[in-house]
Structure formats: C-alpha cells, structure tokens
Structure 1
Amino acid sequence: MVVSLFRWYNGRLAARPLLTQAVTTSILFATGDITAQQLVERRGLEKHDLTRTGRMALYGGFVFGPVATTWFNFLARRVNPSNKRLTTMARVACDQLAFAPVMIGVFLSSMATMEGGSPKHKLEITWWPALKANWMVWPFVQMVNFTFLPLQHRVLFANVVSIGWNSYLSWVNNQ
C-alpha cells in the first residue's frame, strides 16, 4: 500500500508539481498543529482549536508550499559550486541565512495577521528565539535533504520533518 501511495504521489508530482507540493504542505502543516495541540499542549479533542489548525493549513498550502518548492528549484538551478560537498554546504548556507530568517518572519507575521494581532509585536518577541531554534535543527536536516533526496522529494522530506517543527512553531506562535 505504501509503495502504491508513493507511486500515486510521484504521478501527481510529475503532472502538477506546484499544486501537489502545496496540498501536501497544507496537510502536513495542519498535522503539525494537531500534534502541537494534542501531544504538546494536551488540549484534548473537546478543546482543539480548529481555526488555528485551519490557519496552519492555509499558510502551508498557500504560502510555504509554493514558496519552498520555488526556493528548492532555485537552489538546484543556481547554487552549484564545483563539487558535491561544496554544493550541499552552499545550499544549506543559503537556506539558513536567507530563506529561514525570512520565512520565519513571514510565518509569524502571517499568523499574527490571521489572528487579528500585531505582526510587529509578534516578530519582536518570537522571531529571534524561533530562528535560533531553527538553527539547532534545520542545517542538519537540509544537509541530508540536499545530499540524498532528489529535487522532487525535497519539499516532502522537509514537510515530514516539519511535523515536529511546525508543532514547535505553532506552540511558539500561541504563547
């Protein structure tokens, strides 16, 4: 069953890559929020905030999925030094020094806006701690991603790892 699901997914990726990545990201961002609410915060089903889960799904599908897909394609096309190790290191550096700081800011600002709060205030109190936490996890994840995964599966790999990361971001956003 897993093999046939993976074949189906690859077929969708080949036919409509951006849409497939966006839908997958939406589902996995929602999964990250559900994980945060149920396993980290232990809210229980009766106190689960469906609107919050919806915001995460919306952000994942309409912002992060398309942007990450475009970003990984850009890195694959434009960041290609002379050898494989240097290429991986350069892509990780670009990802962590350019993409991560911006996208953490976009995430926090988007959530604050959708919640009716102040993006400026949210960034002031949560951006730097979230970025530092990012740098504890994502350089290693992206080294694995850029070294071993084919381009078409990099967003999926990042999204699967992101279930835990999005649980953290969702929790940080709601503190």
Structure 2
Amino acid sequence: MPPSTPSSMILRTVFRRHIEHLRISRIPRRFQSQSTTTTTTSVPKPNEAAKPPAVDPVPVGGTPAAAPGFWSRLGPLTKAGQAYARAQKNRPWTTQIVSALVIYLAADISAQSIGGKEYVPERTARNLVVGGVSAVPNFMWFVWLSKHFNYQSHALSIGVKIVVNQLTFTPIFNSYFFGAQALLAGDSLAETWDRVRRTVPISWLNAWKLWPAVTAFSFTFVPMEYRSVFAGVVAVGWQTYLSYLNRQVEIEEETKAAESSSAVEKAALQVNMPRNAV
C-alpha cells in the first residue's frame, strides 16, 4: 500500500479541526471557559503537596478581640469604658488598686446599710485594706487564667477555666478575706481560724451559683480590656454579700462573748453572795 501523500494528510488535519470546532460550538457559551479551565487546572503538579483547607480560627477565652458593635453603642458608658481601658493599658496596677478600693467601699457601705446597724467607719477601713492588698494578685491571677487552658473547643476552654478558678482561687481568696477581717479586728489566731471555718464553706458553695455564669459570659462576650469593669460591677454585689456574711458572723461572736461574760458574772455573784451574807 503506498504511503500517504501530503495532500491526504492536510485533508485529515482539516477534517479533525472541523470536527473539534463543531463539538465545542455545541457547548453553551457560559460553560466553555469552565471546561477549558478544568482541562488546564485539573491535573495537579507532581511535586506539589496537598494543602489542607483553610479553617477559620476558633476563638478562645484568652484571645483579645475587638469590641463588638453592642459595646460601642452605649453612649457615656462606652466612653467611660474606653477611658478605663486606656488607664488599664498605661497604669495597670494603679488602675486595679483604685478600682478595688471603689468596689470595696461601695460594697461595705451597701452591706452596712442592709444590716440596719449604725455605720461603723472602722469596718470600712478594714475592707479598704483588704481590697487594696488583694487588687494586684487578683488581677495577675485572671491575666494568667486568660492565657492558659485555651483549647480548640471554646466550650472546653471556658469549662476548664471555671473549674480551675472555683477550685483554687475562690477558696483561697475567701479564706484571705475573712481571715484578714478577723485579724484586723483584733481577733486571735484561734478566733481567726474559727471565722474562716464558719464562713468559707458557705461562701464557696454560694460562689458556684454566681461566678461560673459570670466567668463564662465575660470570656465569651466581653472584650479583654473591659473584663475588669464587668467583673467589678458584679463584684460590688458579691463583696456586699461577703461583707454582710462577715458581719453576721461578727454579731454571732459578739453575742456568744456577751453571753459567756454574763455567765461568768452570774457565777461570780453566786460565789460571792454567801461571803457577803456572813
């Protein structure tokens, strides 16, 4: 059979191009670019490693976040919060001490007004000392808590932070609060221990009713720079409760002391009566 002539090869080439043109023309226009793109990009490069799909980062408790729109629409409260955030950034320890003094002052005045007794300035002074000394350690603790126990699951992060805070910080702080109150009031070490023993368990149990919800809300919705303000507002009510509980225990101790003193006086009178009669 003779070899193909150049003319026959040209005819076959033209025929193939015509058939290809007819095939492409039957495809809708909007799909033509996609089909050509698919043919050029569907084959991966041999040396190109497969990349994992991009995933949005999961927000965790210690991740600083920009203030959401809600916090920027509170008018004067927003301006006050921004001023507090600037002060917190420039002078964190001073800001925390001043904030603690304001919180403890408001809490003690509220607690004394609830008790219905005459206002005692010495109690307010003791509360200010207790609050001022604990301000910086409290601040450092929550900064440390924000930076740790951050997992891929936001719910797990919040849950662990709450459990760690309630099992460590809360009983230690409550022991310090009631113990310092007793020592500053002039109680002995034995009396101080009795005060701690009677107040810390009940205050720790009641803390589970409030602070887990406050912590979860704060780490989830409140930006980093405003968490101290938010916690401070809640702490006014909590410190009012602690001050009130401390005052109730003080009243019980004073009542017991008065009853004991009265019993001693009666016993002394009974012992002395026969001698006087003689």
TM-score when scaled to structure 2?
0.58
Name the SS for the 2:219 alignment partner: helix
**Whole-angstrom CA distance in 1 between matches of 2:107 and 2:236:** 4
Match 2:115 to one of 28, 41, 44 = 41
What is the CA-CA distance between 1:133 and the residue it aligns to? 1.2
Matched-pair contact (CA < 8 Å) for 1:72–1:151 = no
The CA deviation at 1:167 is 0.9
Which of 68-77 and 148-157 deviates more? 148-157
Show structure 1 runs of 4+ deviating over 4 A. Answer: none
Larger Cα-atom Rg: 2
Give the direction of change, closer, same or farther, for the CA distance of 1:77–1:2 in structure 2 (3 Å limit).
closer
Q: CA separation in 1, counterparts of 2:162 and 2:229? A: 17
Aligned to 1:170: 243
Shift of 1:151: 2.7
> What is the distance in 2 between the residues matched to 1:60 and 1:5?
22
- Gaps spanning 5+ residues in structure 2: where? 1-75, 249-278
Picking from 131, 137, 141, the partner of 1:67 is 137
Distance 1:57 1:15 in 2: 24
> 1:71-105, CA deviations, whole angstroms, 9 ceiling, x for partnerless residues?
11101112212221111111111111111111111
Distance 1:12 1:74 in 2: 20
CA apart distance, 1:148: 1.6
CA distance in 1, matches of 2:226, 2:78: 15
Aligned pair 1:51/2:132, yes or no?
no
**Kept in 1: contact 2:81–2:226 (CA 8 A):** no
Contact 1:36–1:168, Cα closer than 8 Å, also in 2: yes
1:111 lines up with 2:186 in the alignment: no
**Contiguous gaps of at least 5 residues in structure 1:** none
Q: How far apart are 1:142 and its partner, in Å?
A: 1.2
Q: Give the helix-richer structure, 1 or 2.
A: 1
2: CA distance, partners of 1:12 / 1:143: 25
Greater relative contact order (CA < 8 Å, ≥ 6 in sequence): 1
Percent of aligned pairs with the same residue?
A: 28
CA contact (8 A) 2:107 2:239 kept: yes
Q: CA deviation at 1:4?
A: 3.5
Alpha-carbon distance, 1:17 to partner: 1.1
What is the distance in 1 between the residues matched to 2:152 and 2:192? 41
Partner in structure 2 of residue 98 of structure 1: 168
Query: Number of residues paired by the alignment?
Result: 170
Cα RMSD of the aligned pairs, angstroms, is 1.5
